[in-house]
């Protein structure tokens, strides 16, 4: 199943700004995707454990709400239904589990405010459904996801921050050494 990413972006950009969906509404929106594809949605009892585990469980309710909103306001909905109908997952909750783990550090606030994070979430959802992006070769899609990967961005930021701190420590040590040498050289003049 192919997804028209450009259409999805246009739909999302044209949508009015709204408060985040309540979790119950978000779950209902996502469960309806499965029902529209004539599949059983994840059982109600599976949502609480799904939202409570993973590498960053605090982000999961917001991520579900953000995904539901993206689905509700864009061409992502009919394409998701078609993808689910074409390739019915054995475990519907597993679709969400894999998706949530791939976007773990992305928060709902980032999705709402940052077009790169929105694109990453949409692409990860398409990936979770086994879909492809219209007009994009699989290798190009993979490369774009690597560019957008927020985990990678955070790791690069952390590495740059450590490097910056190490450089600042080296400069401070060099200044201390120069000050100590200057003080030692000045001793001779005073004696």
Query: Over the stretch 30-44, which tens digit does the pLDDT of each residue have?
Result: 999 999 999 999 999
Query: Could you give the 3-state DSSP secondary structure of residue 132?
Result: strand
Residue 191 has pLDDT above 70, yes or no: no
pLDDT classification of 58: cutoffs 50, 70, 90: very high
Half-sphere exposure in the Cβ direction for 149 (13 Å, CA): 13
CB atoms within 10 A of CB 14: 9
- Ramachandran angles phi, psi of 126, nearest 5°: -60, -45
Q: Are 77 and 71 in contact (CB under 8 A)?
A: yes
When pLDDT is cut at 50, 70 and 90, the band that residue 157 belongs to is low
For the stretch 88-108, pLDDT in tens is 999 999 999 999 999 999 999
The confidence band for 190, taking pLDDT boundaries of 50, 70 and 90, is low
Rounded to two decimals, the pTM is 0.81
pLDDT reported for residue 189: 62
């Amino acid at each position: 199943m192919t997804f028209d990413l450009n259409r999805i972006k246009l739909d999302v950009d044209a949508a009015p700004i709204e408060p985040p969906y309540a979790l119950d509404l978000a779950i209902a929106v996502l469960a309806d995707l499965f029902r529209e594809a004539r599949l059983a949605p994840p059982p109600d009892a599976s949502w609480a454990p799904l939202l409570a585990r993973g590498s960053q469980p605090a982000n999961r309710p917001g991520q579900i709400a953000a995904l539901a909103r993206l689905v509700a306001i864009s061409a992502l909905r009919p394409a998701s239904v078609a993808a689910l109908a074409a390739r019915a997952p054995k475990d519907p909750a597993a679709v969400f589990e894999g998706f949530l783990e791939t976007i773990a550090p992305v928060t709902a606030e980032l999705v709402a405010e940052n077009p790169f994070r929105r694109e990453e979430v949409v692409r990860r959802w398409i990936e979770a459904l086994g879909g492809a992006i219209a007009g994009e070769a699989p290798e190009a899609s993979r490369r774009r996801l690597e560019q957008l990967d927020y985990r990678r961005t955070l790791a690069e930021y952390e590495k740059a921050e450590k490097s910056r701190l190490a450089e600042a420590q080296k400069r401070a040590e060099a200044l201390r050494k120069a000050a100590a040498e200057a003080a030692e050289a000045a001793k001779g003049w005073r004696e």
